[in-house]
Amino acid sequence: MTTEERNGATATAIIGQKVRPGLDREYATWQLDVNSAAADYTGYLGAEISPPTALQPDWVVVYRFDSIAHLQAWINSATRQTLLDVGRVYFDGPATQQVVSGGARPPDPLVTMVVTHRVHPNHIDDFLAWQQRMSQEESTFVGYRGTELFRPIEGLQEEWTTLYRFDNAEHLDAWLTSAERQEILEEGRKFNEFKLHTIDNSFGSWFAFEENGREAPPPSEAKTALAVWVGLYPTVVLLTLALSPAHMPLWLGLLVGNLLSSFIMTFFTMPYYVNRLLKRWLRPNPDEPAAKTNRIGLGIVAAATAFWVAVFYLITTQFWTLP
């Protein structure tokens, strides 16, 4: 057992890849096959794919393993190299890769900026002092959620990697374009900030990423959409029934209803209903076959939806007629 495994430290690889125009769908299909192959390797905890957005021009893939040794076994495996050879037809230039060990994901990581630095050994103390000044200044900006600094990993990662987290894209952009940051960057020009990209997780804290002290993989976009639907339907119908006696005009009723449903979904429906109901499907055990967990998850989705449909049908047709 390695030191990382004894200490329970996870290892994360963040890979950015530009894709040739018009080949995004083919690339996404290929990348799912790669992630499926990664799941067969020891220590695999999960993988997530982030398509390009206004913040990130690259596709970003994040792999999580329970140790550096297990992550390295996957990164350097013949299986992955063979798949990369197949996928090169989709690539528009070389990929970027950062590997970090340990660290903790905050409860609502909406936007994460990844910055790497190649630091000369004689400048490490100066770099750490400069990085501390950067973090202190950044923490004064609205929406700041934290900074994590990761040292190079011998044989796998030569650069220092820093993760900056903000609650949304606007607050991150305010920091990136601020005069304060530009001033600090000028002071640290010798540390050669040569690459940064952003990871945007749209649904924030609606899904839990920590379980029993271990970082669980987030659900896919398809699972996310279905899970939100499972929670949204009963929330919206119950709110409609509750607000109907007020006889508000349509424009006002929708305004109030949407506001209330946003709060209820965030603070009650998703954490206490959907996440618990679909737990095994949203965050499956890596040892369980994907087909099995998908069958169970979709069955629960269908059963829960049928239950609420029956309940609301009886309420609105047998027991109560909307005013």
Amino acid occupying residue 180: E
> For residue 188, what pLDDT band results from cuts at 50, 70 and 90?
confident
Full residue range of the structural domain in which residue 27 is found: 3-206
Domain end residue (candidates: 180, 206, 232):
206
- DSSP code at position 195: E
pLDDT digits (tens, 9 = 90+) for 61-89: 888 888 888 888 898 899 999 999 999 99
Residue 212 lies in a domain: no
Of 134, 161, 136, residue with least CA distance to 150: 161
Same domain, 240 and 96: no
Same domain, 183 and 240: no
**CA-to-CA separations, 89 to 84, 93, 222, 270, 293, in angstroms, rounded:** 9, 10, 26, 40, 32
Same domain, 261 and 311: yes
State how far Cα 276 lies from the chain centre.
Answer: 19
Same domain, 246 and 172: no
Q: Where are the alpha helices (DSSP H) in the chain?
A: 3-7, 24-38, 68-75, 78-87, 124-138, 169-176, 179-187, 221-243, 250-264, 275-277, 279-282, 290-314
C-alpha 129/C-alpha 87 separation (Å) is 41
- The first and second tokens of residue 47, run together, are 């993988």
Residue 279 lies in a domain: yes
- DSSP code at position 19: B
Q: Give me the residue label for tokens 């919206």.
A: 236
3-state secondary structure of 316: helix
- Strands 11-17 and 44-50, sheet pairing: unpaired
Res. 210: pLDDT tops 60: no
Q: Give me the residue label for tokens 């929406």.
A: 143
pTM of the predicted model, to two decimals?
0.50
**Could you tell me if 97 and 44 are in contact, meaning their C-beta atoms sit under 8 angstroms apart?**
no
> For residue 244, what pLDDT band results from cuts at 50, 70 and 90?
confident
- DSSP code at position 157: B
Same domain, 184 and 313: no
Same domain, 79 and 201: yes
pLDDT digits (tens, 9 = 90+) for 110-145: 577 788 887 888 888 888 888 888 888 888 998 888
Same domain, 137 and 252: no
Structural domains in the chain (count): 2
Res. 298: pLDDT tops 90: yes
Same domain, 7 and 103: yes
Same domain, 145 and 55: yes
pLDDT digits (tens, 9 = 90+) for 34-47: 989 998 898 888 88
Same domain, 233 and 167: no
